[in-house]
Structure 1
């Protein structure tokens, strides 16, 4: 029997990110309907995730450390990033993230758990406990697709073409 850890190892491209309020309100799309994201699991137990809104406010300055309040707020609201270690509970199909550092510092040195489900090269992750998001308790649902070389090559070709390189 293949372990879930072995199935997770690799790089995953985000297809969707939805938050469902536990009170039954309409679903939320905190990173918009077409977010970007990569989730990486390494064989030695490390993980990293980055998710961003499709359209993000550019800084008026070309200096990453010089931004006005609106630009800084938009940066924080439009990006999720954290890294750390991961452990898999095969019997319950749950992955636990032991977060070492996060863009949202309140998650540093905390654990988050996700229910795992697969359908071919698609990975479904659902939070096992609600989190607070914009003042509302929600469960998050993320759909990922295993990234392959063609995804990277197409992205690189498009960027290089736009830059005329």
Structure 2
């Protein structure tokens, strides 16, 4: 098989496997910013757009037409979504790392709208599928500590079904 470009490898849908923040000098010291069971999907399209949604699970269902302010507040606290263009320079930076930029044209968090953020990107093939690892450059504040963010995604299978399957 010929070597696929990074763009070719990115294209498609990926499910969130793990979202962690670890100490820069101790990768085994992990916390889960959205809890250990966070779920999500990130998609990259061939025409240069992307969309990411992350959810902290276990919110109680409620009637959206009659939801309370607290119920709606919980929706906002447990969900992050953004979408827009992505830009990729496979030549990389001075360290040879590819430059992947997410342009957050629309976002659930107002502070992210219009933002452009670099993602560190890597791939691995494992016995249960292909994985995409995304991170941010440097560290971010998590509580009182500076931590490195890393999100691990597994490629979702190609969906060519014409009707929904029962076991979703």
| TM-score with structure 2 setting the length | 0.78
Question: Retained in 2: the 8 A contact 1:96–1:114?
Answer: yes
1:57-68 residue pairs with structure 2 within 5 A?
57-59=60-62, 62-63=63-64, 66-68=67-69
2:16 matched residue in structure 1: 14
Q: Which moved more, 1:43-52 or 1:131-140?
A: 131-140
Q: Secondary structure at the match of 1:57?
A: coil
Q: Does 1:148 align with 2:150?
A: no
Aligned residues, how many?
Answer: 154
C-alpha displacement at 1:24, in angstroms?
6.9
Structure 2 residues not aligned, in runs of 5+ = none
Q: In the superposition, relative to structure 1, how do residues 111 and 9 fare at CA in structure 2: closer, same or farther (>3 Å)?
A: same
TM-score w.r.t. length of structure 1: 0.79
Runs of 4+, deviation exceeding 6 Å: none
CA spacing shift, 1:138–1:77, aligned 2, 3 Å: farther
Alignment of 1:74-85 (within 5 A): 74-85=74-85
Provide structure 1 residue ranges, at least 5 long, that are not aligned to the other structure: 160-165
Q: Distance in 2 between matches of 1:107 and 1:88?
A: 19
Q: Distance in 1 between matches of 2:142 and 2:158?
A: 34
